[in-house]
Amino acid sequence: MIENLKVFLDSKVAQFNRPEFIKNDPVSIPHLFTKRQDIEIMGFWAAILAWGQRVTIINKCKELITLMDGAPYDFIINHEEPDLKKLLHFKHRTFNDIDTLYFISFFRYHYSQYESLEDAFIPLNSPIVGSEESNRKQILHYTGGGNLVIETYLNHFRNYFFSLPDFPHRTKKHVSSPSQKSTCKRLNMFLRWMVRNDNCGVDFGIWNEIKPADLIMPCDLHVDRVARKLKLITRKQTDWQTAIELTERLREFDPVDPVKYDFALFGLGIEEHF
């Protein structure tokens, strides 16, 4: 039974993990760019805005790119105060101009010190603003393996993201973490895009410190529904532990790259209405 399911899911990965998948998916947004930082910035933004109709998500991301003069990294690093005025009416569902301006502030702060957004997820790479080095290492140091790698990274990222002075409290709802028991679907999807490198043309594979084997499944409504139908999830609620349970099951099929099955489960759910 397990072997049959693996064969079935592998066939669906092959079916959906191809460039034809890109155009109707938010991953198409970072694919508009070649510069590493542009890919990271708009990949992150596309993932965070990824709720609702996919067409709407893609259109809102393109609107945001236009507001940043078609060059997000350059705009973020070099903008002056008056340049921000045109962003004051940007909105997607509950994400508004206050959130937009804080994202820009964070990116400007981070990229003034680091070449890659990957450093924002690694506890010993990116200090939390205002924290003491010794306390930070004691709290965030990690020596184990498995699911705790990404759990530690995601918890650190949220703390670091909101460590700038006077961050707007309302913006915290847009960046989740395992400490809140969230599935962290959007951030796990973003990590999949940046980390997986299988030369199939969908995921970018431009990050090296985080490994594909450590990634956690992006557990959205379609993935959750299909996974339960295939009896890959037994947990009643859908939370961080559910994402862990699903990933552990998928590691039985491929311990090196379990999250590749996101293509299969999501494709079955949204393309084939499985």
Per residue in 141-181, pLDDT (tens digit) is 443 445 689 999 999 999 999 999 989 999 999 999 999 99
**CA–CA distance, 43 with 75 (Å, rounded to integer):** 16
User: Helices 185-195 and 147-161 meet at what angle, rounded to 10?
Assistant: 110
Q: Is 95 helix (H, G, I), strand (E, B) or coil?
A: strand
Q: How confident is the model at residue 131 (pLDDT cuts 50, 70, 90)?
A: low
**CA–CA distance, 223 with 179 (Å, rounded to integer):** 22
Predicted TM-score (pTM) of this structure: 0.93
What integer pLDDT is reported at residue 274 of this predicted model? 79
Task: Give pLDDT tens digits for 53-73.
Answer: 999 999 999 999 999 999 999
What integer pLDDT is reported at residue 144 of this predicted model? 42
Where on the phi/psi map is residue 215: left (φ > 0), alpha (ψ -120 to 50), or beta?
beta
Domain spans of the chain, in order of start: 2-114+126-196+210-270
By percentage, how much of the chain surpasses pLDDT 70?
Answer: 93
Q: What values do phi and psi take at 168, rounded to 5?
A: -75, 125
Q: How far is CA 218 from CA 2, 52, 206, 207, in A?
A: 22, 16, 19, 18
